[in-house]
Amino acid sequence: MKSYERLLQYIKFRTPSDENSESVPSSQCQFALAEYLVNELHELGVSDAICDEHCYVYGHIPASDGYENSTAIGFIAHMDTVSDFCDHDVNPQIIRNYDGGDVVLGTSGLVLSPNLFPHLPSLRGRTLLTTDGTTILGGDDKAGIAEIMTAIENLRDMPHGPISIAFTPDEEIGTGAQHFDVEKFHAKYAYTLDGDTEGEIQFETFNAAKAKVFFKGENVHPGSAKNIMINASHIAMEFNSMLPACERPEHTEDFEGFYHLTSMNGSVSEAELNYIIRDHDASKFDFRQQTMQHVAKLLNEKYGDGTVTLNIKQQYRNMAEVIEKCPEVIEKARAACIAVGLKPLAVPVRGGTDGSQLSYMGLPCPNLGTGGHAYHGPYEHTTFEGMDKSVELILALIKEYI
């Protein structure tokens, strides 16, 4: 079976994670896909495949005869998707021999266009897989799962060392590695299949934190409010205005960090702002947090203690600090790209992956591209050919370790 055929099966499972949930996994729907994958692994000969109580799928493929002493490596992808644009079934569109131009996404009124996505002409002649404009596609990260599964199916025809497989829940809410059992996984190195363009090798992620800012006001009748009223919503807007406007996601790229206001709500009495804070550079990341703390301090001095309460929660660190100590894990990925005719694309992750946390848990784990683009929204798309090439890359990488 081809990887894209598997993807078309997997996206039938709706698996949004829930950042407001305290359960593990955060959404019970992820178990349905996990159980399906365990059964498929069994059919592919991975006899020890299991799904544990936290919805982590593990499996191991013993080395071929004579290759037992090869380095044990693993491949990981996540089962959950973002919750946005995920309230009904995915209705994918398949465009064969794509011409590189505009694609109308169903009857949604949205158009997948090179004006927004300049890489599209480079996909000319391929078979393009898109949404109908009303949902995500779910290739993040079901494409990664499909490619790993397809590579397993093709292992029967080649020698290999010991290989570990894992599929995780809740990556999209930053807790995908929280209950990962590194000892059970039993690999020296691993690769997540959770990137974009085929040939990407990502080993630098953001340092990441999220911030909740609470504002307390004084609400009185507006007719007698002079020198009494403190409008919490106004102070929230003042807080946001004191952060550098040029350091928002829409104005940054490459290694530039940002402050990102993700949600807001409020009234005169109280208000709340939610941010994510990102930077590749550890010192700049720390400075961003200090900046928010300083703004909160200034506003409390202006309006009174307790007006602003800032809570910052750490999420993950830049895995480059770990990966740099084992350069072979990147060198072999580059060699595998070249072996299958791909130009290695060493680019920073403007986000995070399970590998960010796993690397600090003792499992160096860079990220590889899956052939997908425009994740987390209705413009998400991939190509059959890009997915096929990612499967070839996995198999070539396995060869690098024997």
- Rounded to whole angstroms, the Cα distance separating 172 from 289 reads 22
Helix (H) or strand (E) holding 112, with range, is strand 111-112
CB 232 within 8 A of CB 270: yes
Q: Is 171 a catalytic residue?
A: yes
- Rounded to whole angstroms, the Cα distance separating 227 from 116 reads 49
Please, how many CA atoms are within 13 Å of residue 60, restricted to the half-sphere of its CB?
12
- Rounded to whole angstroms, the Cα distance separating 369 from 200 reads 5
First to last CA, the chain: 26
Nearest Cα to Cα of residue 245 among 259, 263, 265? 259
Say which of 171, 204, 380, 388 is annotated catalytic: 171
Burial 234-256 (b: 16+ CB within 10 A, else e): bbbbbbbeebeeebeeeebeeeb
- Rounded to whole angstroms, the Cα distance separating 347 from 254 reads 8
- Rounded to whole angstroms, the Cα distance separating 41 from 48 reads 9
Say which of 80, 172, 279, 392 is annotated catalytic: 80
Q: How far is CA 247 from each of CA 15, 256, 272, 288, rounded to the nearest angstrom?
A: 32, 8, 21, 10
Residue 362 region by backbone torsions, left for phi larger than 0, else alpha for psi between -120 and 50, else beta? left
Q: Is 279 a catalytic residue?
A: no
- Catalytic annotation, residues: 80, 171
